[in-house]
Structure 1
């Protein structure tokens, strides 16, 4: 049964969690309802007991009667009824008290704690989802800005290419304008005196005066609306007060005249008002200019944040005054601030801005990826925690009903029937069943992370591995199967022998690895570079296996594309293919042939790994079922998951068929690719007008398997007779494109390093387990045909077989088996079985199993080896 951690995921994270928290809040309301029932029942029992107690005083008020008849039997009966009435009152009050002590009080405290736990989880996840969504929007803006910058750079480059095309208008390349030489005479700069007030001061005296002023006059910051905050300011009153105390000014007017001279000489300037008048006022502030600090040698106080200088008229240094405020951003956008790179050309500036935008976009994507991983880890942990909370709630309700019934059954045996019914109700509560019902009816989707990848403007994927399209990743690696997949499978094959027992080896794919640990390994490898085995050594083997499943889940499309999901569904829901295994496998072969070659090669490598693991560890049916269930969302997912697709088992059944019929399915896919490949390299036939070309030569796509065995046999016999007639010269006909024994040693070659057909005309033999061994050279196509199965391919199917001297190399570096058999070389290309159980020979396109010496994981007793080498040669195209 799937748990919360694999049931309430959605593409935006919030929708699935919203459904879950809606049901959990419904559980909180259910707790209140149970608590209300218990509380009201306690109050009813209390009122009922009190009413029973009120009966006796009301009866005693009646004078006479049984009070006078002491020994009558009627009196005893009355007293018995009276006593039972008092006992009944006490019993009902005791029931009320027991319900409060055993049910109401403890369950109310538990309900408050449960509601608090649910609310805390909801608030925490909601805050993280909001932060993730906010960062996602920021990444979109950064991406738009980056693309716009790149477009501007491209437009500028295009304009530069088109510029100066007219030779009459453009200057010659070697033409240059030399500057006119100037003779500079260094004149001695004489420092002039300063007239301040009625006195004339030497520069050294002014320096001392300014240093004393800047040290003793009160200085601070002044905030001016709109413009911002000015630093190093003093009020006019403070400056006048200093002049009167330290410079011996006799009047305020003389002090103001000295202040005006300081403004005129450029040591002060008025802020917040128009003009440059100095006045003795506490409301008028003056800023000390950098000239005063430079002359006096006193360090200027500068802000820690971003500043800007107000532009002033030419020849004025007021622009050096520092102003802090948000308006600096606006002014920098308007371009009124001085340029920090004055010698930068427009093209250099655009390229720099494009690089900066690219860096910001990369940083934003990286931050978003970290936030997404952290969010998924939090969701994963909270879902497991909430699952335990919900299960505890259901168990608590079960306990409450049991205690509630016990408080009544222990006190009043007369209510046994009611108690029996309540016990029956208590027995009908099944916490696990209710949890299953919640999952089956309110699931929103399995765990399928949606990776936001960095989209390079020039379609490069060199800096990321996970979330990238499988074909793009394989092309970047120059391999048919992505390097990350082959590295993971190779590492696992080499380290299976390190585990103790087959049960531990099988459990690698079923153990539940914490998502945080898998993300930690993912972050070490998500750089677009071939992974290092030293990185895998830092983690345990189940974490490495979990990383492969996470890689397949994060692909933009499933390994078996979602485009064929409806076809797969039709295969498993049609009675004709459902009942006949041979027909179902045939249709599966045709369906899988529609996939891209990278997908087929990767699927073949994965299936080889799993089937060998099942075979060599002697896995039972239960393990195979669990393994297929775990791999189903990794291999095939619908384009959009709905409540119907969540209940469908088509992905699971596809994997079971791939496990059971791997050799038949993939050998046929390889046969189709071999036929198309041979047809594409056989070359033009000069007598094509008189020859009947083979089906493989007429079409570039694999041919469906014929189910009419009689027709296929007739066609093969006709083809064999034609070949025999050609070899013996009994019939005059055009030269067949098939090789003959006499030109098997021809020196002409038709080597083709690059396929020219479409994706469906070639298929790499990417299987890490198939061992291809060449047989002896066949001198002719004799009439005796080997016995074959319905899915085997006879060696004479294609007329486009190459000559013996031709060497056809598929895109992954493994020679086509049929060509190797025709060539008759003494040795063929081998690929070792990753677990060493069995091997196979391919003769003329047929797979003939042969016994293998390896029977296990390569222990000392069987002479095998503990690992496997996955051969995946570089991809030419």
Structure 2
């Protein structure tokens, strides 16, 4: 049964948690209702007991009755009734006191503590989600600014190419009455200026001009403003003390500390809205003796008229600044003259307009990259915190249900132990108590209010030129494989190889099987993820400081963070149809055939990666003699990594099609992938220039696409030139020779780590005697047997291939198990005289 940590996730995090906390708050109300019932029952029992105790004194007030009959039998009956009435009164009062002591008081304290725990978790998660969403908005703005800068750089380069084109190479040189060469105009840049409105970074926030206008108008109309006399320099208008500005920022803008308010004041100075007078420098401080003059820029942004100096006797010198005359003191302008006299007026002297645009684009790129990195850190921290809180809240909810069960039991006991006459009521209440099933109620909550499984949504850094060498996780699988120049991303092959080499280090087959089912803390997995999330090849030594289950969980996290699952969500409806079709006698054979056709629609990178993963898991299942229960658990754990719907709904969360697909891939891996290889080879052996590529509507990378196209044309010319081919080291009987597979680089598959026929697979915990594995690049022969490739058809994948040892039958806890998992790439296979089929090579990608 899935828990809270696997059930209340959504794309924006808040929606799924909102559903959970609404149910938890409902549980708080339910606790109050149970407490209200117990408290009112105690009050009713006490009131009933008090009324019963008043019956005997009321009867005794009547004189001349039974008090005069000392020995009558009727008197004894009366005394017995009176005594029973008093006893009943005491019994009900004891019931009321027991309910308060055993139920109301302890359960009331527990309810208060439970409500506090729920509210604290909700407040913490809401605060983190707001911080994450705020950073996401900042990243969007930084991305827009970065793309705009890059477009300006490209447009300027295109204009320079057109403006300084050689007249002799102009396409219009042969046309009659050709118009003159067009002149360079700046109008296009003026048209794009509104898209690059100036933004203001004040404190930790970024404000648009409209927002800055509202803030400045409020500040100029609220902060105390006057005139300040400075010896020698004169009198300055529109000045405010630093302490007044800080006081306003703390009162109206919600700044939490004086240091943060001083940061805001310093940013106002940096943006040309304030300046320090009467002192050297331009530092903002919370001081009543330091005065700052509001610059004309602040009044212009706020739309408030500036107070000008009056006509009178003045001594002034010409100001060279852009606003020197407007902000000068009334008497004397020496400080203004000196401050505006800047010998090196440009921070980047000698910089041309193209250089400035390129510098701004680089700076915008660095800010955007830093923002994405900060957002990724916030997302990881938020997911870790959500995992911890969800597990904690699940325990709290289970404890609440158990507490209600205990309260009902205690409440029933307080009544049943005192008044046997209420036994029927007690029996009914005991029946109610027995019907309460905390685990069943928790299952009901999960089945009816789940919002989604844990599928992290990574905000990746989108390079303007489509480079993916900055990140590993969250990048499209094919883009990652192209960057690695492999059909399978290097991170996947590295993890699988590392696990194969370290399975023998574990004690027993149970520990080896449990690697993929252990619940590894997300914080530990994120720690390993942060070490290798740099877009570069992974060194296996990085994994040594982590345990093996963490490395295995990292692979599942990588597959979960892919934009699309290994089996694309586009074929989810087809897979659903396959497994919802009514069963027939030949259902399995027809199902496998349909699965082959469905998987053939996937990209070759996805097929190759899926094949490598299935090879690893089926070999693990065979060599550890896993039972059916473990295979089902492993398939359920890997199902979200292999197949996910495009949009998860309440219906798809209950469907088991992905798990059944993984089970079929385990059971029929050889038949499915051998057919996929045959279909891929046949489809790419046809002399077709290439698959049609969809027309892209995204022009953000048009320069990179043009360069890639020119490069491809150049390589095509080079490849068409005649060249000599190397002689095959082991030619076949028909003299066949070639340098690579005739299907082209698209037909290449990744490392294949298990046999392609069921007869080659050995189910043994310790390995089988004299078992020899076939090569990872073998292709089945037409009769269904396998033939190892020789030098004619292919070569081992990597240079570090080691010979496959002959396995020796030993105990599963011994080091002999290393022969089963030691290397996922077999040794150089035995040579065969007549090659059969087509061998696929894992060469660097050239497409």
Normalised by the length of structure 1, the TM-score is 0.68
Q: Which residue in the other structure is 2:118 paired with?
A: 118
Distance 1:547 1:66, change over 3 A: same
Shift of 1:226: 8.9
Q: Which residue in the other structure is 1:864 paired with?
A: 819
Give distance in 1, aligned partners of 2:817 and 2:319.
93
Counterpart of 1:11 in 2: which secondary structure?
coil
Q: For each residue in 1:466-495, what CA deviation from the matched residue of structure 2 results, as whole angstroms up to 9, or x when unmatched?
A: 000000000000000000100110111111
Shift of 1:2: 0.5
Give distance in 1, aligned partners of 2:397 and 2:750.
50
Counterpart of 1:509 in 2: which secondary structure?
coil
Q: For each residue in 1:484-528, what CA deviation from the matched residue of structure 2 results, as whole angstroms up to 9, or x when unmatched?
A: 100110111111111111111111111101000100100111100
Pairing 1:838-857 to 2, within 5 Å after superposition:
none
Q: Please state if 1:61 is matched with 2:61.
A: yes
Q: 2:357 aligns with which of 350, 357, 375?
A: 350
Pairing 1:642-791 to 2, within 5 Å after superposition:
642-680=649-687, 751=739, 762-764=747-749, 766-770=751-755
Pairing 1:361-380 to 2, within 5 Å after superposition:
361-380=368-387
Q: Which residue in the other structure is 1:51 paired with?
A: 51
Q: 1:525 aligns with which of 514, 522, 532?
A: 532
Counterpart of 1:463 in 2: which secondary structure?
coil
Q: Which residue in the other structure is 1:546 paired with?
A: 553
Counterpart of 2:819 in 1: which secondary structure?
coil
Q: 1:595 aligns with which of 602, 622, 630?
A: 602
Distance 1:125 1:225, change over 3 A: closer
Distance 1:485 1:377, change over 3 A: same
Contact 2:135 2:371 in 1 (8 A): yes
Contact 1:490 1:869 in 2 (8 A): yes
Q: Which residue in the other structure is 1:388 paired with?
A: 395
Shift of 1:620: 1.1
Distance 1:439 1:81, change over 3 A: same
Q: Which residue in the other structure is 2:845 paired with?
A: 875
Counterpart of 1:455 in 2: which secondary structure?
coil
Shift of 1:748: 8.3
Contact 2:504 2:817 in 1 (8 A): no
Distance 1:73 1:745, change over 3 A: closer
Give distance in 1, aligned partners of 2:36 and 2:494.
61
Distance 1:406 1:555, change over 3 A: same
Shift of 1:341: 2.4
Q: For each residue in 1:369-401, what CA deviation from the matched residue of structure 2 results, as whole angstroms up to 9, or x when unmatched?
A: 000001100100000000000000000000000
Q: Which residue in the other structure is 1:793 paired with?
A: none
Pairing 1:241-252 to 2, within 5 Å after superposition:
none
Contact 2:671 2:756 in 1 (8 A): no
Give distance in 2, aligned partners of 1:822 and 1:360.
53
Contact 1:616 1:855 in 2 (8 A): no
Shift of 1:813: 11
Contact 1:147 1:457 in 2 (8 A): yes
Contact 2:574 2:598 in 1 (8 A): yes
Give distance in 2, aligned partners of 1:479 and 1:605.
13
Q: Which residue in the other structure is 1:86 paired with?
A: 86
| Count of residues in correspondence between the two structures | 651
Contact 1:448 1:554 in 2 (8 A): yes
Shift of 1:163: 1.1
Shift of 1:670: 1.4
Distance 1:455 1:634, change over 3 A: same
Give distance in 2, aligned partners of 1:370 and 1:394.
36
Pairing 1:145-544 to 2, within 5 Å after superposition:
145-165=145-165, 235=229, 239=231, 262=232, 268-272=233-237, 300-303=280-283, 339-544=346-551
Shift of 1:166: 6.0
Q: Which residue in the other structure is 1:715 paired with?
A: none
Give distance in 2, aligned partners of 1:77 and 1:588.
89
Give distance in 1, aligned partners of 2:238 and 2:118.
59
Distance 1:321 1:608, change over 3 A: farther
Give distance in 1, aligned partners of 2:166 and 2:221.
51
Q: For each residue in 1:591-615, what CA deviation from the matched residue of structure 2 results, as whole angstroms up to 9, or x when unmatched?
A: 1111111001100110111111111
Q: For each residue in 1:37-96, what CA deviation from the matched residue of structure 2 results, as whole angstroms up to 9, or x when unmatched?
A: 001100110111111111111111112121111101111011001100000001001101
Shift of 1:443: 0.5
Give distance in 1, aligned partners of 2:585 and 2:77.
81
Q: Please state if 1:21 is matched with 2:21.
A: yes
Shift of 1:138: 1.0
Give distance in 1, aligned partners of 2:130 and 2:403.
34
Give distance in 2, aligned partners of 1:744 and 1:133.
64
Give distance in 1, aligned partners of 2:514 and 2:801.
16
Distance 1:756 1:620, change over 3 A: closer
Contact 1:638 1:645 in 2 (8 A): yes
Distance 1:578 1:603, change over 3 A: farther
Counterpart of 1:272 in 2: which secondary structure?
strand
Contact 1:754 1:876 in 2 (8 A): no
Structure (1 or 2) with the larger CA radius of gyration: 1
Q: For each residue in 1:790-816, what CA deviation from the matched residue of structure 2 results, as whole angstroms up to 9, or x when unmatched?
A: xxxxxxxxxxxxxxxxxxxxxx99576
Normalised by the length of structure 2, the TM-score is 0.70
Q: Which residue in the other structure is 1:106 paired with?
A: 106
Counterpart of 1:874 in 2: which secondary structure?
coil
Contact 1:506 1:617 in 2 (8 A): yes
Q: 1:562 aligns with which of 569, 575, 578?
A: 569
Give distance in 2, aligned partners of 1:410 and 1:859.
62
Distance 1:308 1:456, change over 3 A: farther
Contact 2:24 2:118 in 1 (8 A): yes
Give distance in 1, aligned partners of 2:293 and 2:554.
48
Pairing 1:582-661 to 2, within 5 Å after superposition:
582-661=589-668
Distance 1:419 1:865, change over 3 A: closer
Counterpart of 1:641 in 2: which secondary structure?
coil
Shift of 1:868: 1.4
Counterpart of 2:468 in 1: which secondary structure?
coil
Give distance in 2, aligned partners of 1:558 and 1:565.
10
Distance 1:835 1:617, change over 3 A: farther
Shift of 1:764: 2.2
Q: For each residue in 1:179-215, what CA deviation from the matched residue of structure 2 results, as whole angstroms up to 9, or x when unmatched?
A: xxxxxxxxxxxxxxxxxxxxxxxxxxxxxxxxxxxxx
Q: For each residue in 1:662-708, what CA deviation from the matched residue of structure 2 results, as whole angstroms up to 9, or x when unmatched?
A: 11111111122233344549x9xxxxxxxxxxxxxxx999xxxxxxx
Q: RMSD of the TM alignment (CA)?
A: 4.0
Give distance in 1, aligned partners of 2:620 and 2:810.
12
Q: For each residue in 1:234-275, what CA deviation from the matched residue of structure 2 results, as whole angstroms up to 9, or x when unmatched?
A: 736xx5xxxxxxxxxxxxxxxxxxxxxx5xxxxx2431179x
Distance 1:358 1:321, change over 3 A: farther
Give distance in 2, aligned partners of 1:323 and 1:617.
83
Q: Which residue in the other structure is 1:135 paired with?
A: 135
Shift of 1:552: 0.3
Q: Which residue in the other structure is 1:293 paired with?
A: none
Give distance in 1, aligned partners of 2:576 and 2:588.
15
Shift of 1:825: 6.7
Give distance in 2, aligned partners of 1:81 and 1:765.
94
Distance 1:344 1:314, change over 3 A: farther
